[in-house]
Structure 1
Amino acid sequence: MAPRSHSALPGLVPYSRLPVSQEPALDLNSVETFVRVTLLAIGVKLLAAVAFWVIGRWLISRVIDLLSAAMNRNHLDPTLNKYMGSVIAVTLNIVLVIGILGYFGVQTTSFAALLAGAGLAIGAAWSGMLGNFAAGAFMLVLRPFKVGDFVTVGGVTGTVRELGLFGTTIITPDHVMTLVGNGKVFGDTIQNFSALPYRRVDRVAQLSGAIDPREAIQRLRDAIARIPNVQATPAPEVNLMDLNLLGPVISVRPYCSNEHYWQVWFDTNEAIVRTCREAGWPAPTPVTVTRIQQVPELAGQ
C-alpha cells in the first residue's frame, strides 16, 4: 500500500506554502527624527538653564548691591552688611537652583524637604552657636556699644576690641583678651561707660572724729578743683557721706572725660592724702574706752 501524501489530508497546507515570517525593517528615518527631536529638546533646556543661571546670578548680585547700599545709607555696621549679604545670597542661590531643577522636571519637593531636615538638624546641633549669631545680629543693629568703648558685659569689664557675630572680644584693664559669647552679652546687663561724654570718679575719705567736717569739705573741694582734667561743670561733689565710730566719712566725686578717668582716679587719691597731711589731721583710729568699777563690798577691804 502506497504512503499517503500530506497534501491529501483535508485542511492541511503544504509546508512549502507556509508564509515565511519576516523581521520588520529598521526605519532609519524614524530613529533620526527621534534623536534629532530629543537632542534638540535637551539642548534647548540646557540653554534655557544656562540663561536662567546667568540672569538669576545677575539679579541676585543686583539685589545684594541694592541691599548693601540701603544699609550703608542707614549707617549700619559693615560687619552686619557683609554677613547679611552672604546669608541672603546663599538663600537666593538655593532658590535659583531649585527653580532650575524644577524646570528640568526634577521633583523638588523631596529636595526642599531634605534641605529643611538638614537645616533643622544643624540648628539643633548648633543651637548655642545660632543663639550667639542671632544675638550678634541684634547687637549690630541696636548698637549698645562700639569698638573702643569701655563696657561691662557678661560680667567682664574692659575695652571692646572687636564685635563679631558669634562673640565680642574685650581687653580687660590687666591687658587680657577675653572673648564673651554674644548670647551671654545680649542676655545680661550691659554697662557702657563710654556712651556719655564724661564720668564721675567716686572716692571716699575716712577722717578722724576730731576733725571738723565743714573745714575738711572745703579743703578737699579746693584740692580736687586743682587736679588736671577735672571738669568745672558739673562741679566736683564733696559732701558728708556718713558717720561711724572712727569719725566722718567724706565723699569726693570729681567729673572728667572718659579718656582721663583713671588719671583723675589716682590723682584724687593723692589729693586726699596730701590734704590730710598738709592740714595735720590725725589718722582715724578706733577709740577704746575702758571703765574700772569697784565692787562695793570689796572697797572697804
Structure 2
Amino acid sequence: MDMQSIQTFLSTTATELAIKILAAIAFWIVGRWLIGWVITIMQAAMNRNRVDPTLTKYLGSIIAITLNVALVLGIMGFFGIQTTSFAALLAGAGLAIGAAWSGLLGNFAAGAFMLVLRPFKVGDFVSIGGVVGTVHELGLFGTVIVTPDNVNTIIGNGKIFADTIQNFSVLPVRRVERVAQLAIGVDPLDAIDRLKAAVAMIPNVSSEMPPEINLLDIKLEGPQISVRPYTHTDNYWQVYFDTNEAIVRVCKEAGWPAPSALHQFKQVS
C-alpha cells in the first residue's frame, strides 16, 4: 500500500467519521427538542383534563428520562455500536450503582408509592419529614416544599414515606388553639361569655363549627380559658393572631388585672 492509498483511506475515513459526528450532533439536538415537545404536549393535555399536577410532573420526569436513554441508544446504534451489549453493561452497572445508591433508589420507590397512595398533592399545606410547608413539587427522588418563612426545602421521599405525614389541607377547617390566663378573682364564666362574643367577630372564623371557649384549668395564678376557633388552613395565622388580640382586648375592656404567680408559701413546721 503506497502513500497515496493511505492518504485516500484516511481522508475517506475521516470524512465519514466527521459526517457521522455531525449527524449524531444533529440527532441529539433534534431528539432533545422532540422530547421537550412531547413532554410539553403531554403535560398540557393532562392539565386540560384536570389531572393532578403532582402526577403530571412525576410522569413527565419518568418519560423524559426514558426518552433520553432511548435517544442515546439510538445514536450509539447509528455509530454501529452493539446496543444489546451496551444494555447488558448498563444493567450490570445498574446493579452496582443500585447497591451503592440504595438510598436514592429507596427515595424513588417511596415516590412511586406516594404517587399511588396520594397522601398529599401540589399546593397542600403539610408536615412531612419534620418540616412544615406548602408542597411545591413531587420529584423522582425528593419532594420540594416551601416553608412559611419562604424557604425552598427538598426532603427525600424515603424519609417522608417512613415518617408521619400530616396534611392540613384535606379537611375543610383547622382548629386554632390559644389559652387565656386570667388573674385570681376573675369570674371564668363571665370571661367565657365575653371571649365567645369577641372571637365570633373575628374574620374567617368558621360559622359551621363554632369556637370552643371552655374552662381549661384552675392554676395558682388563676383560671385558664381555652380559646379554640376553627378556620380554613389558608386563614390559620390570620385567625391565630386575631385571637390573641381579641383575648388582650377583652381583658383590657373588662378591666381585669394581669395574672401573677404566687411567690409566698406558708412554711410547714
TM-score using structure 1 length: 0.63
Equivalent in 222, 232, 254 of residue 207 of structure 2: 232
Which residue matches 2:3? none
Equivalent in 256, 261, 265 of residue 231 of structure 2: 256
Which residue matches 2:130? 155
Q: 1:267 to 1:122 in 2, by over 3 A?
A: same
**2: CA distance, partners of 1:222 / 1:175:** 35
SS at match of 1:162: strand
Equivalent in 107, 114, 117 of residue 142 of structure 1: 117
1:179-198 equivalences under 5 Å are: 179-198=154-173
**2: CA distance, partners of 1:258 / 1:292:** 51
More relative contact order in 1 or in 2 (CA 8 Å, sep 6+)? 2
**2: CA distance, partners of 1:257 / 1:136:** 28
Aligned positions, number: 221
Q: 1:236 to 1:192 in 2, by over 3 A?
A: same
**2: CA distance, partners of 1:225 / 1:240:** 17
Q: 1:90 to 1:206 in 2, by over 3 A?
A: same
- Deviations 1:19-66, CA, capped at 9 Å, x for gaps: xxxxxxxxxxxxxxxxxxxxxxxxxxxxxxxxxxxxxxxxxxxxx99x
1:102-121 equivalences under 5 Å are: 114-121=89-96
Q: 1:136 to 1:210 in 2, by over 3 A?
A: same
Q: 1:291 deviation in Å?
A: 5.3
Q: 1:74 to 1:141 in 2, by over 3 A?
A: farther
> One-letter code of the match for 2:164?
T
TM-score using structure 2 length: 0.70
**2: CA distance, partners of 1:169 / 1:89:** 24
Which residue matches 1:37? none
Which residue matches 2:63? 85
**2: CA distance, partners of 1:287 / 1:119:** 69
> One-letter code of the match for 2:252?
R
**1: CA distance, partners of 2:87 / 2:154:** 37
Q: 1:74 deviation in Å?
A: 9.9
Which residue matches 1:6? none
1:1-301 equivalences under 5 Å are: 75=51, 77-86=55-64, 114-289=89-264
Identical residues among aligned pairs (%)? 60
Q: Does the aligned pair in 1 maintain the 2:58–2:138 contact within 8 Å? A: no
> One-letter code of the match for 2:251?
C
> One-letter code of the match for 2:189?
R
- Which structure has the larger Rg? 1
Q: Where does structure 1 lack aligned partners over 5 or more consecutive residues?
A: 1-63, 101-105, 296-301
> One-letter code of the match for 1:174?
D
> One-letter code of the match for 1:251?
S
Q: Does the aligned pair in 1 maintain the 2:181–2:222 contact within 8 Å? A: yes
Q: 1:281 to 1:74 in 2, by over 3 A?
A: closer
SS at match of 1:238: strand
> One-letter code of the match for 2:112?
A
